[in-house]
Structure 1
């Protein structure tokens, strides 16, 4: 029984991440099939939230979208594959990871895989569709359009950073 608990604590976050990966792929498929590129299919709160079909041939905030095709393939396909494999091995082998860190890495693995699937199999780039008004903050009227996989990566990285910050304080004896 003692061996089963660690196995369950490793598998459950991956199953949840797999569920969100499926949600990511289904929503991207629906948007690509039913919403014309650039079309706002639905809005809420005036123009606060849009469900809009956008494509991203780069990475976060479309960085690298102007790179030549072969370089883009190496940077946005091969490098992420290697990183995801290394993260998966680390996730599975490292016994010092605790709960929130496992959840964080599972989300990053799921989200990274979701966008990698798009880069590998959608010739016009990653499907993005969630768009929020940003009211001119940081010089942007709208936050860059994103998807479920992007959200998984952002939440996973944020949880990982927070867990590392708080675990350091705990180890050093500082009050939390």
Structure 2
């Protein structure tokens, strides 16, 4: 049986294309159109990938992919050097761990509104906004990818399952 497509027995041939699209801040609809796959098919593939990875969200799946080195070949998007506050780095790290805004607020002892404000500022500083993109999901995936690409988050080696 040919398993050349598998990365540690977890990824399917189309998974890296989906992860790269998510890392670039593309919506599932945009990725589906770009790779010529029906939207529902790709959405289901991403859901199954998240299940295999134990990822709470698409942004968490992108973070796992960076931690495991699967997206190390993805060219970093050019961005000016920016500084994030210590709190923004904390929020970003918890986003990468798959926590929701409510869970982040609880973990940091702040309000959910404050967490949302931190998230929006992170998106603005990292320049994740794109016309027509779904801000909450696409921007979060894009912010996580940019944070790994530009050293705001350091990919620690995560064991493959």
The two structures share one fold, judged by TM-score above 0.5: no
More helix by share: 1
Higher Rg: 1
Of structures 1 and 2, the one scoring higher in RCO (CA 8 A, sep 6+) is 2
More strand by share: 1
Q: TM-score, normalised by structure 1?
A: 0.27
